Amino acid sequence: MVPKRVLVIDNSPLQCKELSRIFGKLGYGTIAAYSALDGFRLVSLNDPNLIVLDLLLLDMDGLEVCEQLKKNAQTQRIPLVLFTGCTRIVDIMRGFAANLLKMLVVAGKKMLILDF
């Protein structure tokens, strides 16, 4: 059986490493992308089972990445989880509109998990 793969997209190599460690403990293989463009390339090469990405990427807004992935017939079936430190209601509503699986909002030491 092929192990499930998670694509993590974040500018921070440290954040990617930490998320990879967490998913690895859960039995998932991980692929790290440090930009949106790298993420698009890796999603087409690796066919991940889940994509976890940051809202604030340097080269493209994380919600724009989600919207493009949902418009593409090859990637629209892949569940998306967005994480962010932004707590603005407009960002949360954009997450809802982007048809995300979940949105993780981190504020200080608290985390809010939004199911859409």
pLDDT at 2 over 80: no
Task: Tell me the pLDDT tens digit for each residue of 68-100.
Answer: 998 999 999 998 888 776 656 666 666 666 666
3-state secondary structure of 98: coil
pTM: 0.81
Directed axis angle between helix 62-71 and helix 89-97, to 10°?
Answer: 10
Listed in order, strand segments (DSSP E) in the chain are: 5-9, 29-33, 50-54, 80-84, 102-107, 110-115
Contact 46, 75 (CB under 8 A): no
Task: Tell me the pLDDT tens digit for each residue of 6-29.
Answer: 999 999 899 899 889 888 988 899
Tokens of 88: 């603005």
Tokens of 72: 């593409």
CA distance 1 to 4: 9
Judge: domain 5-115, CATH 3.40.50.620.
Answer: no
